[in-house]
Amino acid sequence: MIEKVNPSHPDKMADRIAGALVDLAYKKNENCKIAVEVLIGHGLCHIIAETSETFSEEEVKEIVKRIAGEIRVNLKVVKQDQQLALNQKDKLRCGDNGIFKGVPLTNEQQKLSKIAREIYQKYQSDGKYILDGNKLIICQSNADNQELKQLHPQAIVNPLGEWTGGTDVDTGATNRKLGSDMADSVTGGGLHGKDLSKGDVSINIYAFLKAQKTGEVIQLSCAIGDEFIDGKSYSDVVEIAKQYINNLGGFEKLAEWGLY
């Protein structure tokens, strides 16, 4: 049993805005430190960014407009905590405490990811999809229900009828759809809105990739300041995650669908 949401779901819009701000921070400084939280809905986008870099309101509003349209932005930008900053001063170390789990994807999870992406190619508006054995539920806004029923004859399609979706119907928040992003690899930390020094990003990605390669469940833990994870230097773990994110096209692209 698994759920996927598409990139136009309000929670994914929040993740994408957070990811785009991380991309912007890395453009300003390849050693940036940033953590972003976004709450969006009903014409308003709240953003709190703890960051080593400076953002102008214009830069942030441009990102929000591109992803979510014309809505009001309430922005709060503060410097990262000094003690946290000192942790990274002379060497790349784990930037937070946490537990992490990587789990091989099931056929069901891969199947639903494919279905969700195919539907989104046709209907690029708010959508949520559930697969539970042979039971497929498609909730796709602004869609032709009959066409979806022809494509997936056995599916339950929009059980309440047509709907518009988006942030005028529902609110979105960063890291609220981790089941959609990480499947059974969900633990305590969210993927989105953080730089690579944060274990929630780098160790989660590292554990997920190792699980796909080995076919085994990978469980790891870290304390803030750790220099080694799973027998590797933390800088090596970060490099693996960095290459993965770069191959996707950046942190905003990671936010669109998560890890699968």
What are the start-end ranges of the H helices in 123-233? 145-151, 178-182, 199-214
Q: Domain total for the chain?
A: 1
The answer to the question of residue 2 being in a domain is no
The answer to the question of residue 88 being in a domain is yes
* Residues forming a β-bridge with 72: 44
pLDDT per position in the chain (260 positions), as tens?
999 999 999 999 999 999 999 999 999 999 999 999 999 999 999 999 999 999 999 999 999 999 999 999 999 999 988 887 777 877 888 988 999 999 999 999 999 999 999 999 999 999 999 999 999 999 999 999 999 999 999 999 999 999 999 999 999 999 999 999 999 999 988 999 999 999 999 999 999 999 999 999 999 999 999 999 999 999 999 999 999 999 999 999 999 999 99
* Dihedral sign (CA 162, 142, 37, 73): negative
The answer to the question of residue 120 being in a domain is no
The answer to the question of residue 110 being in a domain is no
The answer to the question of residue 116 being in a domain is no
Its domain, for residue 50, covers: 10-104+173-257
Of 212, 240, 194, 161, give the one whose Cα is nearest residue 50.
194
Domain CATH code at residue 17: 3.30.300.10
The answer to the question of residue 90 being in a domain is yes
pTM here is 0.96
What are the start-end ranges of the H helices in the chain? 10-28, 57-68, 82-87, 107-122, 145-151, 178-182, 199-214, 234-248, 251-257
The answer to the question of residue 180 being in a domain is yes
The answer to the question of residue 136 being in a domain is no
